[in-house]
Amino acid sequence: MTNRRRAFLSRNVLLTDGQPRPATVIVDDSTGTIVDIIGTLVPRSSFPDIDDADWIDAGHSYLLPGLVDAHVHLNEPGRTDWEGFWTGTRAAASGGVTTVVDMPLNSIPPTTTTENLEQKRAAARGQCWTDVAFWGGVIPGNQAHLKPLVAAGVKGFKCFLIESGVDEFPCVNEADLRGAMTELKDTSTVLCFHAELEKTPGVSTPEPADPTLYSTFLASRPQQLEVDAIELITRLHREYPALRLHIVHLSAADALPLVRAARASGLPLTVETCFHYLTLSAQHIPHGRPEFKCCPPIREDANRDALWAALLDGAIDCVVSDHSPCVAALKKLDERDVMAAWGGISTLGLGLSLLWTEARKRGVGIERIVNWLCVRPAEHAGLADRKGQVKVGYDADLVVWDPDAQTKVTKELLNFKNKLTPYEGLTLDGRVEKTFLRGKLVYDGAQGGFAGLEPIGNLL
């Protein structure tokens, strides 16, 4: 008996060359992988063995590879009032994300030992609407746990050069980094940095100023913090040149010359930025709106333009959400206190539309966006052999997407747990119609999203 197959057709399939073209994608239902790609729209009669329910014709809507969001805080176990696997991965799937890589914080416990990793996996099982992989954490004193975490399957490690905001995940100093890099230097893993560094603690604290003004917060996290951090990172990288290093959520364009110089010298350094740094700017943030606060901060228009230029010339590799939610009380909305609020922006489900809306204004095509949101983050997270491309042998993670539909962001649209986002009220271009994980439907916008569907995500 032949395996059951499924066919996906569109006049606009994003294949590995990046250009939308007519194609028919054949999926083996038993493995969830792509087994054939035919460079034309095949007549229905050519596949009499495929059931009507398994013949999915997207028409003129685009067929994209599922997005890989390599920077997400799902916060479970321990802070499930902030987010959780169920709500976070549903939000991701609604935006065309089929794989998320969960950060080692702000869960309790953090992912800093194999025992803690297993607690997180146990919490995740049966709850995930997308596939989920995990980053490990580097904190002071856990160097002996790093190689066991690699062996247990983490995709890499995250550390902070400045206080993280949660007590259970302290920042590291140069001696801690040397210990960690020595442990990891002969592995194929990647060490990721929250790259802000206060050379003299307290030096960036401004004179007392109005805590409801975004400008007060921005002055407290100047670009120099990121520049100093990346100076340290690239200096250490020269001592450990075989180890892959990665800068998470770069916001400071002033640090780009250091990045370019390190890469020109041959160091394996990669960089991500976030939707909020590419679509928002400090000048347009209203007073008393803590939902715009994140660390490092959203900066000025000129900085945003420089980040776009770096994306386009390849100095920045990929774009991620850094979805970092919290409960409403920690956002200090009633007090309008930006300085005291939790620093984190909730984005899951909105990223593709956010980037496409801004990209259209800049004349940037969908093929570049697929590279930044699918191909490159899959490479970064060690998933490039199965995720991020519509390609034979890869998982059939597919997104039916209408580039011209417009959607107004409302609380009712949001699928993450705490409905707080700076994007509320915006009208965005592009809409995810359906999301398929390994060929199976996990989100259907026309049918209420998740009605009648089940979470089938795997832990990677």
pLDDT digits 0-9 by tens, 423-450: 999 999 999 999 999 999 999 999 989 9
Confidence of residue 203 (pLDDT cuts 50, 70, 90): low
The residue with tokens 């996990």 is 442
328-367 confidence digits (pLDDT tens): 999 999 999 999 999 999 999 999 999 999 999 999 999 9
Q: Quick: pLDDT tens for 212-250.
A: 999 999 999 999 999 999 999 999 999 999 999 999 999
The reported pLDDT for the residue numbered 206 is: 54
Evaluate whether 156 touches 382 at the Cβ level (below 8 Å): yes
Question: Would you place residue 10 in the very low, low, confident or very high pLDDT band (cuts 50, 70, 90)?
Answer: very high
Q: Provide the 3-class DSSP secondary structure of residue 40.
A: coil
Instruction: Give the per-residue pLDDT at 202.
Output: 57
Averaged pLDDT of the chain:
96
Distance CA 246, CA 235 (A): 14
Contacts of 45 (CB under 8 A, 6+ apart): none
Whether residue 325 is preceded by a cis peptide bond, meaning omega within 30 degrees of 0, is no
Neighbours of 347 (CB within 10 A): 29
CB 56 within 8 A of CB 23: no
2, pLDDT greater than 70: no
The pTM for the full model equals: 0.97
Q: Are 255 and 195 in contact (CB under 8 A)?
A: yes
Percentage of the residues of the chain whose pLDDT score is greater than 70: 98
Share of the chain above pLDDT 90, in %: 96
Tokens 């949660």, residue?
Answer: 166
Cis peptide before 106 (omega within 30 of 0): yes
Rounded Cα–Cα distance for residues 301 and 116 (Å): 41
* Half-sphere exposure at residue 200, Cβ-oriented, CA atoms within 13 angstroms: 3
